[in-house]
Structure 1
Amino acid sequence: MKKNILIALAFFALIVAATFPLVFKITTYIPGFFSSDEHYFVIWHSWLVNLSLTNNLSITKTNLIAYPFGVNFYIGQLVCYLFLFINYSLSLLTTPMLTYNLQVFFNHFFSSLFAYFLAYHLTKVRAIGFLSGVIFGFCPYIFMRSWQHLGETYLWMMPLILWVLFRLKEKNTKRSKVFFVSSLIIATLNFGVVYYSAIILITFCLYLILYNWKNMSILPKELVRSDILYLKGIFSLLIISFLFLLPQFYPIIKNTIFSYGTRPSAFNLYHRPFEDLFEQSARPLSYFLPAVVHPVFGKFTEQFIGSPLYGMSFTEHTLYLGWTPLVLAFVAVRRWRRMRRERKKLGTVPLQNQFNSSIGDNPLQREDFYIGFFVFLVIVAWVFSQPPWWNIFGFKIYMPSFFMYKILPMFRAYCRFGIVVMLAVAVLAGFGLKFILERFKSQKIKLVVAALFCGLVLFEFWNWPPYKVIDISKVPAVYYW
């Protein structure tokens, strides 16, 4: 516990440095960069919520806009009850700037912390968990979201769900089941994460079946029975979670069904234009070029903005994975493939089900399974982030977004699946560092090597100077006319 607290304090200190000088001007500054605009409404709405709650006014409608008719904020909206609860509570207890900044700060913190817990659970090495936490919690994607879309900074539920999912499979206890259901409910802080998590869970269940099928020519009955019981258990817990969330999901399902007969529009939240899927999908260089805000390499990336190779949006197409994480992930995959080839030559097969009470006694099996899963997840998430089709010499190769649009026409920014790719790469990079550290015997050398890689990652993901903050205390010149 003491070491985990020190890890958490280290994340806290790094967040203070990475968002500098936000913490020291937290009541007057908000995170932002040259194209930030949408967070002004969030801050204004926080002020309005406080005004409404303290003066017994409606929190759903106001006539301060479009007077005398007013505006209803929640008609036809995708309402996240937990997100509203947090915003309303902070709006009532703090200032609008604190309402925004506290959420940004703690979302960075929890993203790092739960990625750490996930990687530490898989590798049993804290330094490796810390690296994975740095990669996921400090990636440019999350910073870009904090400068534009507050709700999209709620991403820490993904590593939380995976962490709890793996614990549930290894220890099928009532406590693990409660944690799993709770993590699914918490995921509704961001409906995008609900979608990503659904794909992650489907990918995991499919991989579990394929893994056992591929490694055993004839599946033992007890293994088949164990997998079936596990999948049934997951399905049952998903049903329980859905029943808890039905009051929230029902209007969404109803509006989605009705939206099929409506005209797609940028203002129709349940039926977005199909063309948006092309504009807001990943491009070949989106994952490999540093963020445009990087103080050293950003200028190089700027020349690709608006090109078919990178994309048009500073926010949506910043999916940079980092070359340090990619190299470490490559080390993990290479070692994994070599182990599988050697095992194949020896003609060995897993001696027991991958997930049972004695999994901790089988580190090679454990690594083989989990590395394979995250490689599979990288591929699935990357494919989901692509446009509806690739047009190769007039021949169309359809991607998942083409088919998913017919089911979920409200979702258009499939490039956001890049954060799922980032999470999987962060875990694979952790395994890569683990294999590198195994070459050294001295604990001091291991810590130095781990610190070196953490430093390289932070350098790749750094975003100032100039500082990425906006001084809200300064009144815009337009109000002095």
Structure 2
Amino acid sequence: MARVWQRRTLIHILAVILYSVLALAATWPLVQNLGTHVPGSDTWAFDEYTFIWNSWWLRYSLFDLGQNPLYSTHTFYPLGISLVLYTYNLFNALISLPLQPFLSLPAISNLTFLFATVLSGYGAFLLAEYLLASGRRDSEEGQREAVQRGSPAVLLAALLAGLIYAFGSYRMVYAAIGHYDMWSTAWIPFYTLYLFKTIHERRMRNAILAGLFLVLSMLAEMIFGVFLGMLTIIVLAFVVGRRGREEVAGGLSSLLGRLVVMGLVAVVLYLPVLVPVVGEMFGGYELAGWGDAEKLSVDLVGLVTPTALHPLGGDWVETLRQTQEGTSRFRDVNTVFLGWAGLALAIVGAVCYRRKVAAWITSFIVFAVFSLGPVLQINGRSIFDLDGLLVNVPLPFIVLHYIPFVKANRVPNRFGVVLMLALAVLAGYGAYWLFAKLSRSKATVGRVILVACTLLLAALVL
């Protein structure tokens, strides 16, 4: 037993090292300019500097001015402005406080980005490992497979899932345009992991940790709370079904108690932010309309088209300039490229384990559809000529516009954060099916390692 634990610990350490090396490689030459430069694009909106300012203002307002950091008199002087609904990225600003006396703000921001990237990968790794190793896996070929958490097939598949989530186009594009709140995705897989543990295990600690990670996610970006609420509803909807109830520890009444604890922990910890947020949202001065919801939607073709940051995706600066001028292929920067290798593995996982991963298939579809925005866009077009009749295709995102709090998100492509998590989990199942197939065959260890490395490389590049 001790040897198994030591082997699993070593694998987890190696996973963190791998994600760390890949984070440095994927962001090169950031590490060479750690204290002087930050990710962003001069041809865009300079949002990156507002997030640097956030960290400075939090410390300055608290320790120098002794005032509420959710209100600034240094902006729109002398009137000032409320920062309650501002993209504060509070978690990153908070962890910068003890570092600011010793490091420059750019260095802190860059270290936070690298930390979030590694932790996003490791969190998705833990989630995929737990899901793959929970009980027995039923493939649709009629086979029943006893799965051990430390088995090579599970660990390799989980490693790939973490890679897809941490290094997918979604996080990297948002980093490149300076939207730091949207790459702060580290706590989302941890919340999801402990949500499933809350369902499958009786320990109340899981519910408490789920509530904690939910709050950390919302401190990074408050709209993540809406997304995780939707994901939770989807997961629990499948738990209510007969097959789902069989996996609930202690029955539905026991689960309800744990969910109440999870909710209470989240509300109590988030209360200092929640109270002013609710007050602002009912202030009666919100902007009417849809904002740029149509423009900031995912194009259907964009889901399978490499972004401009991709080696096969073209020139990044030119793409940004064309987007600003309205001459680009898509109406906005393509943020959600699923990746060909990841999508192929996800399809394999969905087909081979469709009963087991029904909640993840549903999540993938729901968040993909919502990311498409209020009307369907195909290759930059939202109006289609049907034999002289000009029409557009309304999508379910329209319904969200009329739901309080939820309607605050007017950027549909942000749904990509959970879409990529669902993709990563499904791809993990697909990779597990392949590795398990190889392990049952007469394939040598060398062949298995070769296939694993090929899949990891393909998921990273394609």
TM range (shorter): 0.7 to 0.9
SS in 1 for 2:306: coil
Deviation of 1:134 after TM superposition, in Å, equals: 0.7
What is the CA deviation profile of residues 176-228 of structure 1, one whole-angstrom value per residue up to 9, with x for unaligned ones?
22222221222222212111111110111112224x2xx59xx99x9898234
Distance 2:249 2:110 in 1: 49
Residue in 2 that maps onto 1:450:
452
Residue in 1 that maps onto 2:347:
330
Residue in 1 that maps onto 2:117:
108
Select which of 396, 411, 414 maps to 2:412.
414
Select which of 5, 9, 15 maps to 2:23.
15
Select which of 120, 132, 157 maps to 2:129.
120
How much is the aligned-residue C-alpha RMSD, in angstroms? 3.3
Distance 1:83 1:70 in 2: 27
* Amino acid aligned to 1:21: P
Distance 2:307 2:112 in 1: 23
* Amino acid aligned to 1:112: G
Alignment check: 8 A CA contact 1:287 1:321 kept: yes
Distance 1:247 1:52 in 2: 16
Select which of 134, 145, 161 maps to 2:191.
161
Structure 1: gaps of 5 or more residues: 265-270, 338-367, 461-481
Distance 1:238 1:52 in 2: 31
Deviation of 1:438 after TM superposition, in Å, equals: 2.1
Alignment check: 8 A CA contact 1:22 1:30 kept: yes
Aligned residues: 411
Residue in 2 that maps onto 1:206:
237
Alignment check: 8 A CA contact 1:135 1:457 kept: yes
Whether 1:251 aligns to 2:260 is no
Deviation of 1:155 after TM superposition, in Å, equals: 0.9
Counterparts in 2 of 1:120 and 1:277: CA distance versus 1, 3 Å: same
Select which of 157, 161, 165 maps to 1:132.
161
Structure 2: gaps of 5 or more residues: 1-8, 133-148, 377-382, 385-389
* Amino acid aligned to 1:403: L
Distance 1:114 1:451 in 2: 21
Select which of 240, 248, 251 maps to 1:226.
251
Residue in 1 that maps onto 2:3:
none
Counterparts in 2 of 1:149 and 1:121: CA distance versus 1, 3 Å: same
Residue in 2 that maps onto 1:431:
429
TM-score (norm 1): 0.76
Greater length-normalized contact order (CA 8 Å, ≥ 6 residues apart):
1
Deviation of 1:254 after TM superposition, in Å, equals: 2.0
Residue in 1 that maps onto 2:399:
402
Alignment check: 8 A CA contact 2:300 2:372 kept: no
What is the CA deviation profile of residues 84-129 of structure 1, one whole-angstrom value per residue up to 9, with x for unaligned ones?
3224333344211112111111111111110111111122311111
What is the CA deviation profile of residues 448-471 of structure 1, one whole-angstrom value per residue up to 9, with x for unaligned ones?
2111011112223xxxxxxxxxxx
SS in 2 for 1:286: helix
Alignment check: 8 A CA contact 2:306 2:339 kept: yes
Residue in 1 that maps onto 2:137:
none
Deviation of 1:232 after TM superposition, in Å, equals: 4.6
Counterparts in 2 of 1:379 and 1:49: CA distance versus 1, 3 Å: closer
Counterparts in 2 of 1:76 and 1:318: CA distance versus 1, 3 Å: closer
What is the CA deviation profile of residues 47-103 of structure 1, one whole-angstrom value per residue up to 9, with x for unaligned ones?
566666776676847776666x27446366465654432243333442111121111
* Amino acid aligned to 1:250: V
Alignment check: 8 A CA contact 1:157 1:193 kept: no
TM-score (norm 2): 0.79
Residue in 1 that maps onto 2:93:
84
Q: Calculate percent identity across the aligned residue pairs.
A: 21
Deviation of 1:35 after TM superposition, in Å, equals: 3.3
1:2-151 aligned at under 5 Å gives the runs 2-36=10-44, 37-47=46-56, 60=69, 69=78, 71-72=80-81, 74=83, 77=86, 81-123=90-132, 124=149, 125-147=154-176, 148-151=178-181
* Amino acid aligned to 1:419: V
* Amino acid aligned to 2:201: K
